[in-house]
């Protein structure tokens, strides 16, 4: 939203105290979380484990009860009014340069949606207070009518408060992108490859669940039907924003099909989620590319043996490589390889820009870090645990379908990420205001 682009214009007040990080030392906390899924509003019990930076999300009511937040919102309203007054002043136009006027108009444009929400909230609060007075009336019919109005006002107030907080969270440019998904088998041999195939299928189901397109770029199978490596291009509304939390090391604990003595094995696989930039936002110099063709490898057949359709593209300045051999057409393989290459280079660019921001964070959400596991799938206990937020949910079979359960876990990750981002932003405000 527009206001998110204006966050850097207002970094003078100290708001870090608004948030209350709570470090959890006990073993498990049971908490019920309400999440919206495609099938409606569900209530599911999650289990929050140890080493959690924020054991409890700060509620909207708690935030808006803080004097410092109220003062910050009033400060924004004051600056908005001053900008309007200066823009409309003929004297100001004579004294100020065109650049200064343009800056003021831009600020007004960026603040409009937030100011509108703040004023709507103030109006609803006054309406709610008037309704509270009517609840004391002696007329039973009037009290009943006032009760209904009161419930409606309270819901509107809650919605507007949440909208204001959402506007305060900076929007990342990559969130509007499509993505390239890459899965690679890690430690565990054939078992890791089998699990990699299951996870890749899970994300295929997740894409179908959201109505996104899922176009396979690479698919390198193992002897037992697993995956050594695979990649796919995923396109659709908020596809990267929803998928970015899946990046990292996924661990599986189970008795493999190949295990004759019934022993539990631990295997890993890695997931990379690379935002796919548009031509406008990211360009590659054709002179920096070396494009090679070769015969596709596979199960055999005339096409595999006789046609140089596989394409390998090397970005010379960085050494980044992308390949594709899924299509019979060399042209189509080249297009897909370029899409994968662009995603890899763009991801490198984003990581360079955001490394300073994330290197001190205790909960690594959406940073594509692979140094530690982000999630464990324990088949013996039928549980999935996300270690970044310490949340466990049961029913692995349903989770691997890539539908409601994965969607719910993803929504919870988004909620924690939003709070963490706002905490970080308020921390920056605190430092600048000191």
Per DSSP, the residues of 262-306 read ---EEEEEEEEEEEE--TTT----GGGEEEEEEPPPSS--HHHHH
Q: Which residues neighbour 28 within 8 Å (Cβ) at sequence distance 6 or greater? A: 47, 48, 49
CA 225-226-227 angle, to 5 degrees, is 130
What backbone torsions phi and psi does residue 264 show, to the nearest 5 degrees? -75, 135
Q: In the block, which residue shows the tokens 């600056």?
A: 79
**Looking at 255-407, which runs of residues are DSSP E strands?**
265-276, 289-294, 310-315, 320-324, 373-378, 383-386, 391-394
Q: Give me the pLDDT at residue 181, please.
A: 93
Q: What is the pLDDT of residues 158-205, one digit of tens each?
A: 999 999 988 888 777 778 888 989 999 999 889 999 999 999 999 999
Q: What is the pLDDT of residues 73-103, one digit of tens each?
A: 888 899 899 888 888 775 555 556 677 778 8
For residue 241, which of 184, 185, 169, 161 has the smallest C-alpha distance?
169
Q: What is the pLDDT of residues 344-392, one digit of tens each?
A: 888 787 776 556 444 433 333 333 333 468 999 999 999 999 998 889 9
Residue 149 pLDDT > 70, yes or no? yes
- Whether this prediction's pTM lies above 0.75 is answered by no
CB 387 within 8 A of CB 378: no
> Could you tell me the sign of the dihedral formed by the alpha carbons of 345, 348, 350, 352, in that order?
negative
Q: Give me the pLDDT at residue 393, please.
A: 95
Q: What is the pLDDT of residues 15-47, one digit of tens each?
A: 333 333 333 333 333 343 433 333 333 333 343
Q: What is the pLDDT of residues 292-306, one digit of tens each?
A: 887 776 554 444 445
What backbone torsions phi and psi does residue 322 show, to the nearest 5 degrees? -135, 140
Pairing of strands 383-386, 391-394: antiparallel
Pairing of strands 29-37, 213-221: unpaired
For residue 368, which of 388, 383, 392, 385 has the smallest C-alpha distance?
388
């Amino acid at each position: 939203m527009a206001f998110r682009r204006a966050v850097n214009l207002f970094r003078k007040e100290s708001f870090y105290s608004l948030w209350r990080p709570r470090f959890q030392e006990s073993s498990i906390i049971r908490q019920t979380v309400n999440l919206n899924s495609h099938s409606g509003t569900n209530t599911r019990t999650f289990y929050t484990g140890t080493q959690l930076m924020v054991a409890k999300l700060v509620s909207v009511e708690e935030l808006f009860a803080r004097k410092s937040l109220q003062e910050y919102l009033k400060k924004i309203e004051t600056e908005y009014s001053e900008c309007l007054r200066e823009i409309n002043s003929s004297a100001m136009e004579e004294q100020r340069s065109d650049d200064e006027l343009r800056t003021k108009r831009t600020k007004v444009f960026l603040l409009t949606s937030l100011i509108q929400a703040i004023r709507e909230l103030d109006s609803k609060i006054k309406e709610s207070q008037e309704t509270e007075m009517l609840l004391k009336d002696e007329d039973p019919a009037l009290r009943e009518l006032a009760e209904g109005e009161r419930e409606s006002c309270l819901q509107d107030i809650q919605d507007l408060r949440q909208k204001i907080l959402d506007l305060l969270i900076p929007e990342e440019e990559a969130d509007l992108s499509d993505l390239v998904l890459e899965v690679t088998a890690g430690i565990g041999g054939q078992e890791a490859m089998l699990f990699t195939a299951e996870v890749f299928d899970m994300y295929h189901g997740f894409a179908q669940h959201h109505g996104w397109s899922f176009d396979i770029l690479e698919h390198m199978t193992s002897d037992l039907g697993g995956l050594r490596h695979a990649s796919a291009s995923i396109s659709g509304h908020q596809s990267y924003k929803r998928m970015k939390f899946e990046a990292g090391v996924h661990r599986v604990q189970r008795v493999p099909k190949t295990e004759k003595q019934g022993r539990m094995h631990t295997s890993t696989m890695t997931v990379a989620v690379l935002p796919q930039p548009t031509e406008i936002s990211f360009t590659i110099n054709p002179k920096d590319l070396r494009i090679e063709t070769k015969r596709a490898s596979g199960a055999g057949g005339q096409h595999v043996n006789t046609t140089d359709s596989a394409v390998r593209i090397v970005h010379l300045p960085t050494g980044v490589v992308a390949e594709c051999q899924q299509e019979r057409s060399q042209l189509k393989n080249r297009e897909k390889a370029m899409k994968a290459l662009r995603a890899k280079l763009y991801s490198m660019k984003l990581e360079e820009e955001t490394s300073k921001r994330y290197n001190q964070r205790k909960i690594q959400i959406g940073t594509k870090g692979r140094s530690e596991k982000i999630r464990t799938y324990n088949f013996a206990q039928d549980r999935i645990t996300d270690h970044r937020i310490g949340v466990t949910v049961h029913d692995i079979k349903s989770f691997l379908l890539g539908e409601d359960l994965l969607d719910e876990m993803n929504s919870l990750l988004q909620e924690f990420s939003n709070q963490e981002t706002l905490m970080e932003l308020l921390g920056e405000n605190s430092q600048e205001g000191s």
